[in-house]
Structure 1
Amino acid sequence: MSELHVDSIRKRFGDKQILNDIFISCKPGQIIALLGRNGSGKSTLLKIIFGSLSADNKFIKVDDRKIDSLYQKRKLIHYLAQDNFLPNHVKIKNIIRCFCDTKNAALIMGNDLIIPFLQKKVNQLSGGEKRIMEILLVVHSNVKYVLLDEPFNGSSPLHIEIIKELIKEHSKNKGFIITDHDYKNVLDISSTVILMDSGNTRVIKEFSELIDYGYLPATSERTQHP
């Protein structure tokens, strides 16, 4: 069975140890919520898994194949960073055709949200419109694993619900690791919850643990998951 296996990830910035022998695994069908306070290393970990940031130590494999370079991951893992990646002066329809195969390009271009943008250039879209465009491209890509860093940031409540449904639909044959400060919406769709705390990962079984470890205040509204 397919699996993304990440082990022994260590990363230091100057005198600060950000990641300390991190372990995380993900299989198609899983939606992993990766939670943690600012500076806990969530984005750093996702960048290392994707390959855009070096680590002091790492072991990453997919389907029993050890992965050492970004090139090796290009058909296995895609990463949605916090910053926009779409080129400003290119039309949306051309970006879709370049980024996706014929089948997925047709699906995106037929999406009611995207149809009004097809003839526009990226710099004519709002921040929220750019974000949902990027998410559609990454989620519809032909890879096994998708890493999403702050997918709900800047999105309207309507777009958030659309993004959640999209992730749930594609999680039937993809694995997702998602980090976002909008923890309620992340928890709403996740099957596994992992908290990054003091450079380590903790699997969370009960909502109260998020309070016990100091991620949430004691007055936080309880959610259905975990």
Structure 2
Amino acid sequence: MSLEVAQLSRRFGDAQALRDVSLAVRGGEFVALLGPSGSGKTTLLRVLAGLDFADAGTVRIDGRDMSAVPARERGIGFVFQSYALFRHMSVFENIAFGLRVRPRAQRPTRAEIARRVEALLGRMGIAELARRLPEQISGGQRQRVALARALAIEPRLLLLDEPFGALDAEVRKGLRRWLRALHAELGLTSLFVTHDQEEAMELADRVAVMQAGAVVQFDTPAAILDRPASAFVAGFLGHAARLPARLAADALHFDPLPLPPLPRAALRATPEAEGPAVAFVRSHEWRIRPAAAGEGNATLLHARRSGGQEQLEIDLAGQVIEAEAAPGLLQPGQPCRIEAVTARAYADKP
């Protein structure tokens, strides 16, 4: 199924939670809503599910306007951040709940409900947990139960709100891969909320970056990382150093930092007009070499090994720069010369 959101707005008192949000999601896509806390991600998900309403704009699923369609009739599966499992019900009954509460004319038979639940328990790899209560299973298992409950109604659209937020790092990684494989296997259309950029880049076909209730960029993970649409996106993604700069006719100057200017041809993004700018340089976009005393423009503060590289923290005129280099290139306290190989620059608006 396809999803189209057009000019969606939502206000809570003086707070504008959504600002003219527009998205077009193709059938079978896995889309991430990525942004800091308070950017409107969960509000958008709740409006799509019919758990909240918009002040303006439209939501269409497969071309049908959802404005007058109640949540229970939208055919949407929702997985909450807190799982929202019924504590007094077994795992089996939690999964069966959405089927048992359907109107009598649409409710499957008891045998069909049991068949669907048992099939989902097997698919989730938790068949042995059917009779346990939620408090008797782990966080990762609860997440699978919550997902199975959402899938039991055979949704056209699956919505997940911070699905891995309460889990530890190793469990998160395993469940991410499992969820992506399940999405492809079932042919779902899925949207998930996250503030974790690694999670979004690993899972999603496309990512909608949100800021202050608006979608500021919607593209593939590779395109967003390579060509951020704004200073906000560039700073939010990719662990980049944010540097003061000035764009001139020939080059980007890093005033007042003691860095060589970058020719325009070396820049990956530039503002339209010359003048004050803010530049972003990622850790792998630095060139570093040792320097003799008095000849460097920076000093190594700290180094730690990560894979085949060293992650460096470098003091550049009082600003700490994170960079990558070959192991053993520098020792803590050693002077060095550092320069940017490329950068992304945006107008520094007042």
TM class by shorter chain equals 0.7 to 0.9
> CA, structure 1 residues 72+199, in 2 after alignment: closer, same or farther (shift >3 Å)?
closer
* 2:157 paired residue number: 145
* 2:75 paired residue number: 76
* 1:164 paired residue number: 177
CA contact (8 A) 1:30 1:176 kept: yes
Provide the secondary structure at the position in 1 that maps to 2:33: strand
Displacement of 1:138: 1.9
Of the three residues 175, 179, 203, the one matched with 2:218 is 203
* 2:54 paired residue number: 55
* 1:134 paired residue number: 146
Displacement of 1:38: 0.7
CA distance in 2, matches of 1:162, 1:197: 27
Task: Letter of the 2:191 partner, please give it.
Answer: I
CA contact (8 A) 1:11 1:19 kept: yes
Displacement of 1:95: 2.2
> CA, structure 1 residues 70+151, in 2 after alignment: closer, same or farther (shift >3 Å)?
farther
Q: How many percent identity over aligned positions?
A: 24
TM-score by length of 1: 0.84
> CA, structure 1 residues 169+105, in 2 after alignment: closer, same or farther (shift >3 Å)?
same
Displacement of 1:125: 2.6
* 1:39 paired residue number: 38
Structure 2 residue runs without a partner (length 5+): 100-112, 242-281, 285-350
> CA, structure 1 residues 72+162, in 2 after alignment: closer, same or farther (shift >3 Å)?
closer
In our comparison, the structure showing a higher alpha carbon Rg is 2
CA distance in 1, matches of 2:177, 2:152: 14
> How do 1:77-92 residues align onto structure 2 when only pairs under 5 Å count?
77-92=76-91
Matched, 1:218 2:240: yes
> CA, structure 1 residues 167+75, in 2 after alignment: closer, same or farther (shift >3 Å)?
farther
Matched, 1:118 2:127: no
CA distance in 2, matches of 1:189, 1:136: 19
CA distance in 2, matches of 1:84, 1:158: 16
> CA, structure 1 residues 173+42, in 2 after alignment: closer, same or farther (shift >3 Å)?
same
CA distance in 1, matches of 2:142, 2:51: 22
Deviation readout 1:2-51 (Å, 9 max, x if unpaired): 41111121011222222111011222220111111110000011001111
Q: Give the structure with the larger strand fraction.
A: 2
Provide the secondary structure at the position in 2 that maps to 1:166: helix
CA distance in 2, matches of 1:70, 1:82: 24
> How do 1:186-201 residues align onto structure 2 when only pairs under 5 Å count?
186-201=200-215
Deviation readout 1:125-154 (Å, 9 max, x if unpaired): 333332221123324541111111111112
> CA, structure 1 residues 112+203, in 2 after alignment: closer, same or farther (shift >3 Å)?
closer
> CA, structure 1 residues 140+186, in 2 after alignment: closer, same or farther (shift >3 Å)?
farther
Displacement of 1:72: 5.8
Provide the secondary structure at the position in 2 that maps to 1:195: strand
Provide the secondary structure at the position in 1 that maps to 2:27: coil
> CA, structure 1 residues 192+170, in 2 after alignment: closer, same or farther (shift >3 Å)?
same
CA contact (8 A) 1:132 1:159 kept: no
* 1:106 paired residue number: 118
> CA, structure 1 residues 14+99, in 2 after alignment: closer, same or farther (shift >3 Å)?
closer
CA distance in 2, matches of 1:74, 1:167: 26
Task: Letter of the 1:108 partner, please give it.
Answer: L
Displacement of 1:80: 1.6
CA distance in 2, matches of 1:139, 1:112: 11
* Greater relative CO (CA pairs within 8 A, separation 6+): 1
Provide the secondary structure at the position in 2 that maps to 1:206: helix
CA distance in 1, matches of 2:140, 2:70: 30
CA distance in 1, matches of 2:236, 2:199: 16
Matched, 1:21 2:34: no
Provide the secondary structure at the position in 1 that maps to 2:52: coil
Displacement of 1:76: 2.4
Deviation readout 1:148-190 (Å, 9 max, x if unpaired): 1111112342454234333333345211111122321221121
CA distance in 2, matches of 1:210, 1:79: 30
Provide the secondary structure at the position in 1 that maps to 2:54: coil
